[in-house]
């Protein structure tokens, strides 16, 4: 499979020169399987730009198909959806998988996003190419486009909407995407380690630095409200999961909007030192918008 990043921010978009190297759009990753099928991880603002890129091909003629897997229904994971132009062109088939919460299924939650108070779309029905909108069945493996896709719910039982980690396996190669997760005492849990086991590419959120976490809410640079700081992980925790799961490559994503290119580069260097200190072989880098790699 091939992976391309269209959005690598969490919480809010981060336009401006200080973030230009890493990129400023919220979460969205394009995955192309060997059979050419299009899978999309998250529908943040990056989805708009992915949609634009698709219009030159089959999607512009109403002959495209894609499946979007949502990690969460918070804004930074769905904000691109009302702007995903291929979903408005009849003939395309766009499926969405994710997780409802608080007694509402995924379709009801996304329908709410389109309501007239928030969006001129008014209803999902006005996006004629959106087909299946499905809540994930835990423990079930979905076969699509020649790959198998598995869901693992993290942050179960904690405040806020649950988050879904996704694992895509294709012919012995694997991509694992984990975001919006808070580990108890900062240590990845056994279930998530097993889920990420031997991943060729682990894409993991790094909203906080370890220092920020240690200093607590009062000490961090964050301008976001306390509620927006819950259920997130650090650079160190992402590396720890990669090491414990024996993953081969870690790409850090879902960066805080205050985190400029220089501080991300420093954090990545610190993680490379951590891996060396543990005599590990995990390769660590940041995901960047426009960055494309084979898995
Ligand atoms: Zn998020």
Of residues 161 and 207, more confidence is placed in: 207
- The pLDDT score that the predictor gives to residue 181 is 95
Q: Has residue 281 got a pLDDT over 80?
A: yes
- The pLDDT score that the predictor gives to residue 221 is 57
Dist. CA 86–CA 94, nearest whole Å? 8
- The pLDDT score that the predictor gives to residue 223 is 62
Q: Has residue 182 got a pLDDT over 60?
A: yes
The vertex-252 CA angle with 249 and 257, nearest 5°, equals 170
Mean of the pLDDT values across residues 9-33?
Answer: 97
Among 75, 5, 87, 10, CA closest to 46: 5
Distance, CA 66 to ligand 1 centroid (Å)?
22
Beta partners for 208? 234
H-assigned helices in 74-233: 75-78, 106-114, 190-195, 210-215
Distance, CA 266 to ligand 1 centroid (Å)?
22
Distance, CA 255 to ligand 1 centroid (Å)?
9
- The pLDDT score that the predictor gives to residue 133 is 97
> Considering the chain, what percentage of its residues have pLDDT values greater than 70?
94
* Tokens linked to 181: 């997760």
- The pLDDT score that the predictor gives to residue 218 is 46
Indicate the domain borders of the chain: 2-294
- Sign of the torsion angle spanned by Cα atoms 107, 79, 32, 170: negative
> Considering the chain, what percentage of its residues have pLDDT values greater than 90?
83
What rounded mean pLDDT belongs to the chain? 93
Integer CA distances (angstroms), 150 to 85, 238, 250, 280, in order: 27, 20, 19, 27
Distance, CA 238 to ligand 1 centroid (Å)?
15
Beta partners for 247? none
Is residue 268 within 8 Å of 22, Cβ to Cβ? no
CATH class of the region 2-294 = alpha beta
Distance, CA 218 to ligand 1 centroid (Å)?
21
Q: Has residue 168 got a pLDDT over 80?
A: yes
CA 150 from centroid of its chain's CA atoms: 14
- The pLDDT score that the predictor gives to residue 222 is 59
Distance, CA 22 to ligand 1 centroid (Å)?
17
Helix (H, G, I), strand (E, B) or coil at 5: strand
Dist. CA 153–CA 163, nearest whole Å? 6
Lowest mean pLDDT among 83-87, 135-139, 272-276: 135-139
Among 157, 199, 147, 148, CA closest to 178: 199
Please give the span between the terminal C-alpha atoms of the chain, in angstroms, as a whole number.
5
Categorize the per-residue pLDDT at 231 as very low, low, confident or very high, splitting at 50, 70 and 90: confident
Dist. CA 43–CA 166, nearest whole Å? 14
Distance, CA 62 to ligand 1 centroid (Å)?
31
Helix (H, G, I), strand (E, B) or coil at 212: helix
């Amino acid at each position: 499979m091939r992976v391309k990043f269209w959005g690598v921010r969490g919480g809010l978009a981060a336009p401006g020169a200080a973030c230009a190297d890493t990129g400023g759009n919220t979460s969205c990753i394009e995955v192309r399987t060997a059979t050419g099928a299009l899978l999309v991880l998250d529908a943040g603002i990056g989805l708009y730009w992915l949609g634009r890129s698709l219009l030159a091909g089959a999607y512009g003629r109403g002959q495209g198909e894609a499946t979007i897997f949502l990690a969460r229904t918070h804004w930074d994971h769905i904000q691109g959806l009302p702007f995903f132009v291929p979903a408005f062109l009849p003939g395309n088939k766009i499926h969405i998988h994710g997780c409802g919460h608080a007694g509402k299924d995924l379709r009801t939650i996304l329908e709410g996003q389109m309501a007239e108070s928030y969006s001129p779309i008014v209803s999902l029905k006005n996006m004629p190419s959106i087909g299946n909108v499905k809540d994930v069945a835990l423990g079930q493996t979905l076969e699509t486009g020649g790959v198998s896709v598995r869901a693992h719910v993290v942050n179960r039982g904690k405040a806020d909407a649950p988050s879904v980690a996704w694992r895509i396996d294709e012919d012995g190669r694997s991509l694992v995407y984990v975001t919006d997760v808070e580990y108890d005492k900062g240590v990845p849990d056994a279930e998530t380690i097993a889920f990420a086991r031997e991943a060729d590419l682990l894409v993991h959120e790094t909203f906080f630095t370890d220092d920020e976490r240690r200093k607590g809410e009062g000490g961090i640079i964050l301008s976001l409200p306390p509620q927006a700081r819950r259920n997130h992980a650090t650079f160190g925790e992402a590396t720890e999961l990669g090491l414990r799961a024996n993953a081969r490559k870690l790409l850090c994503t879902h960066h805080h909007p205050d985190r400029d290119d220089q501080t991300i580069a420093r954090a990545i260097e610190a993680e490379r030192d951590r891996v060396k200190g543990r005599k590990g072989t995990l390769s660590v880098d940041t995901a960047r918008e426009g960055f494309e790699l084979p898995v």
